[in-house]
Amino acid sequence: MPTTINRPGAEEYPSTYQGYLDYLPEGEVLYLLEKQSADLRHMFKNISEERAEEAYAVGKWTMKELLQHLIDAERIFGYRALCFSRAEQADLPGWDENRYVYNSLANIRPLVQLLDEYELARRSNLAMFRSFTAEMLSSYGVANGNSMTVRGLIHVLAAHELHHIKILEERYLKRK
pLDDT digits (tens, 9 = 90+) for 87-101: 999 999 999 999 999
pTM metric for this prediction: 0.95
Question: Could you tell me the fold of the domain covering 13-173?
Answer: Four Helix Bundle (Hemerythrin (Met), subunit A) (1.20.120)
User: How buried is 106 (Cβ within 10 angstroms: 0-12 exposed, 13-18 middle, 19+ buried)?
Assistant: buried
Domain ranges of the chain: 13-173
Please report the DSSP string for 127-156 in residue order: HHHHH--HHHHT-EEEETTEEEEHHHHHHH
User: What digits encode the pLDDT tens for the residues 65-122?
Assistant: 999 999 999 999 999 999 999 999 999 999 999 999 999 999 999 999 999 999 999 9
